[in-house]
Amino acid sequence: MNKLELSIAVGNYDRMRPLIDGEVQIDGVNPVFMLHDPEEIFFRAFRHADFDITELSLSSFTVKTAADNCPYVGVPVFPSRAFRHTSIYIRTDRGIETPADLRGKRIGVPEYQLTANVWARLFLEEDHGLKASDVTWLRGGYEQPGRVEKIALDLPEGVHVENIPSGETLSGMLASGELDAVMGPRAPSCFDRGHPHVGYLYADPQQAASDWYRRTGIFPIMHLLGIRKTLVERHPWLPFSVYKAFEQSKALALAKLSDTAATKVTLPFVEDQLQAARKLMGDDFWSYGFEPNRRTLERFLKQHHAEGLSCRPLAPEELFHPATLESFKI
């Protein structure tokens, strides 16, 4: 039987390399990998459904799944996870000493509904009492003018989002002082260049994130994997085959990372970072699968709906193909 030739769009992560390099195979599939940044993948996936199998923004996927108009069905593979205490950058000359001091400020976002921003607003509200309606949100591109919200939104009354002026960028406006802060998954270039009045909201974001994890047990999910629904209808065996292969690829990547006789990544002290992650979060700190992530997904979906981003409450099971909600045991 001929294998299915399928396009697969993902980021070039270590956990994907065993699949990309052919060390791990997807049963019944001849993959054509396309390695792109998330912005390109998500734009093409949600605007045009360009790919057969694709990495997807959890927030955008939730918006469209709740509205019953998503071309993809989810698989509980989570290519990107991140603590987003590193995702809020402030002007250090505005008297912002604590997160609560953001009240009344102007905060730039590349898109309001980005998954990173949902998680950041969650802990800002839970830990510091800062609500989305307490600030003014300014939307635009980090470094290139003209970025737009890829998903249509119907936000609650009192939440004010406006576009930044034509020709402007978030990084430029933060550097010039026209914004008080920027929130999003990337650092603005003015921060990377060491602007004297731009810094992190949290003085020690890693410590803040570690403390939050100890209290909540949540390692935020940013992206999941999706398969084109029309493909799954024709090939119902495909979702579990995909899940199994991506799980094997991640396991192989972690095994390589743990072998520090010759370090696999270009970073000193990798073994110390790995040991610290396992001490804080356990051996399976980057878990795939439905049950290990049910609680994290429930908390995200509750916040997402409360913010008016999803038109109806979703149960975590609704995100994924039923064949991927459980696995076999030997």
Could you report the per-residue pLDDT of 65-105, keeping only the tens digit for each? 999 999 999 999 999 999 999 999 999 999 999 999 999 99
pTM strictly above 0.85: yes
Give the model confidence (pLDDT) of 252-305 as tens digits.
999 999 988 888 889 899 999 999 999 999 999 999 999 999 999 999 999 999
> Taking a C-beta distance cutoff of 8 angstroms, is the pair 217, 295 a contact?
yes
- What mean pLDDT comes out for the span 173-189? 97
- Residue 30's closest CA among 18, 22, 38, 42? 22
- What mean pLDDT comes out for the span 153-179? 95
Q: For residue 320, what is the DSSP state?
A: B
Q: How sure is the predictor about 148, in pLDDT bands with cuts at 50, 70 and 90?
A: confident
Q: Would you call 181 exposed, middle or buried from its count of C-beta atoms within 10 A (0-12, 13-18, 19+)?
A: buried
Q: How sure is the predictor about 1, in pLDDT bands with cuts at 50, 70 and 90?
A: low
Res 19: pLDDT: 98
